[in-house]
Amino acid sequence: MNFSRRISSLSESVTLRVSALAKRMKQEGIDVVGFGAGEPDFDTPSHIKEAAKEAIDAGFTKYTPAGGTKELKKAICEKFKKDNGLDYGEDEIVVSCGAKHCLFNVILAICDDGDEVILPSPYWVSYPEMIKAAGAKAVILETKKENGFKITKENLSKSISKKTKLFILNSPSNPTGAVYSEGELKGIAEVIVSSGIMCISDEIYEKIIYEGKHTSIASLNDTIKKHTIVINGVSKAYAMTGWRIGYAAANRDIIKTVSNLQSHSTSNPASVSQKAALSALSGSQECIQKMVEEFKRRRDFIVKRINSIRGLSCLKPQGAFYVFVSIGELLGKRFSGKPLDDALSFSQCLLENAHVAVVPGEAFGRKDYIRLSYASSMENIKKGLDRIEAFVKKLG
């Protein structure tokens, strides 16, 4: 059967082979330590779960408006005002089935065939495929470890062409944990405004920051706000990945277009999940602080340990819950005669022989890195790092 060229062009995830192998090994009873999870290992706070139970008992199980309930949109507007100093009306908010769904909808709504989207590398794995699905082209803007994996206003400006429609900003970043300062964002905002392009600001890890504070680029001034679509959600901050609630904020025209698209695809996000998200945003925020404190403890441990292993190195992430580990010094070495030429071969060999699952850097546009998530118990982190160190020592 012939499938559409647009969808057929999407790449299979480079992590599938490793994740499939890890799953099969676990089913066979092998003790595999996983560093791949992109979700908090904490349970959803009890007051949020109670709100969902109450919604079910009250029969709140029917359709809602396609773009989300009025009360949840109101809570999101209040969140933006309180946390980010941003004023949005309810008609400038759309609620979707997770932040990923928001991103897909926005990119599809903005981009046409042949448009260019500037994407800093390392990037989150789904950005390039979403851009392809919209018929646009990803223009990869490489960043350097020496610069904290962050772009500058100068290299952003050089990447813009007549075809540029959109720039994607992710702060805090997955996979690097990089966080842009207010000063850095001001320079980027100047370029965006002067060039007339739009900016997607993916702020899903906003609450998970260890040093400094989060600044939304849209909050700098009214002009950059008009050029920005802010994406956020409840998945990471409230350990609600499976509830599938994300939201986007932008000018009315963009939100109306995204809402229209959503009305013909998924319709509304789950009604019960919207009640849970309302409780998350309007209830106690103490759960976030406790989670971030534990993530910081794990981060400090894993960074120190990785940098003590010869051949591995990483920066200390400012946010999110990942470390992006350089394996460049180990590429070209062999394990039991098998060459390790890139992150994918390294990750497969590590899994098969040391029973540790990591995400190869090819998923993020870098074949000389691997990503480790520390959204796992300290016991598992220690056990996994012991195995990684033993594996590295065996490389010849």
CA dihedral 127, 129, 135, 136 (to 10 degrees): 40
CA distances (Å), 30 to each of 120, 225, 351, 390, in order?
A: 37, 51, 11, 18
Spell out the CATH class of 62-282. alpha beta
Handedness of CA 331, 335, 337, 342 (dihedral sign): negative
| pLDDT the model gives residue 178 | 98
Per-residue confidence of the chain (396 residues) as pLDDT tens digits? 888 888 888 887 766 667 777 888 889 999 999 998 888 999 999 999 999 999 999 999 999 999 999 999 999 999 999 999 999 999 999 999 999 999 999 999 999 999 999 999 999 999 999 999 999 999 999 999 999 999 999 999 999 999 999 999 999 999 999 999 999 999 999 999 999 999 999 999 999 999 989 999 999 999 999 999 999 999 999 999 999 999 999 999 999 999 999 999 999 999 999 999 999 999 999 999 999 999 999 999 999 999 999 999 999 999 999 999 999 999 999 999 999 999 999 999 999 999 999 999 999 999 999 999 999 999 999 999 999 999 999 997
- Burial status of residue 95 (CB atoms within 10 A of its CB: 0-12, 13-18, 19 or more): buried
Angle at 79 between CA 110 and CA 249, to 5 degrees: 10
CA distance linking residue 18 with residue 313, whole number of Å: 22
| DSSP 8-state secondary structure symbol assigned to residue 66 | T
CA distances (Å), 15 to each of 1, 21, 266, 345, 357, in order?
A: 26, 10, 27, 11, 10
Question: 5-43+287-393 belongs to which homologous superfamily?
Answer: Aspartate Aminotransferase, domain 1 (3.90.1150.10)
| pLDDT the model gives residue 16 | 62
**Domain locations in the chain as residue ranges:** 5-43+287-393, 62-282
The residues with which 373 forms a beta bridge, in sequence order, are 322
| pLDDT the model gives residue 109 | 97
CB 358 within 8 A of CB 370: yes
- Concatenating the DSSP letter of every residue in 26-61 gives HHTT--PEE----S-SSPPPHHHHHHHHHHHHTT--
Query: 284: which residues sit within 8 A by CB, 6+ positions away?
Result: 45, 47
CA distance linking residue 169 with residue 199, whole number of Å: 7
| Number of other residues whose CB lies within 10 A of the CB of residue 89 | 12
For the stretch 233-267, what's the b/e string if a residue is b when 16 or more beta carbons lie within 10 angstroms of its beta carbon? bbbbbbbbbebbbbbbbbbeebbbbbbebbeeeee
CB 279 within 8 A of CB 234: no
Q: For the whole model, what pTM was predicted?
A: 0.96
Closest CA to 345 of 42, 114, 21: 21
| pLDDT the model gives residue 12 | 75
Q: Output the six-digit token pair for 31.
A: 């003790």
| DSSP 8-state secondary structure symbol assigned to residue 2 | P
Amino acid at 364: F
The residues with which 198 forms a beta bridge, in sequence order, are 166
| pLDDT the model gives residue 64 | 98
Three-state secondary-structure class, residue 338: strand
